[in-house]
Amino acid sequence: MMLESIAQLLHGIITLYIWVVIIASLLTFVQPDPNNTIVMTLNKLTSPALDFVREKMPFVMFSGIDLSPVVVVIGLQIVDIVIRGLLIG
């Protein structure tokens, strides 16, 4: 019972972060004011993960297209599946 609760909590956190990455990525298409509080918060939340992917996998950026958010989302989904599989069984 306790492990299920932990798994559900982690699933919720991972899902929330996936949505934060998606929203931050979509905002890059409209180029909002970088001094906006929401934009600054989204950038602070997503920059570490996206920068890590860009540094470790430089091939995710080609022809001006940055696919690091896709890599982060897929990676988080894999982590979510593994964690739930290990904790719930």
Helix segments in the chain, DSSP class H: 2-30, 37-56, 68-88
Low-confidence stretches of the chain (pLDDT < 70) are: none
What is d(CA 71, CA 67) in angstroms, rounded to the nearest whole number? 7
pLDDT for the residue 59? 92
pLDDT for the residue 85? 92
pLDDT for the residue 1? 79
pLDDT for the residue 87? 87
pLDDT for the residue 35? 93
pLDDT for the residue 74? 98
Count of structural domains, the chain: 1
What is the pTM (predicted TM-score) of this model?
0.90
Tokens representing residue 64 in the block: 């001006």
> Residue 58's CB: how many other CB atoms inside 10 A?
10
DSSP letter assigned to residue 59: G
Domain enclosing residue 43, as ranges: 2-88
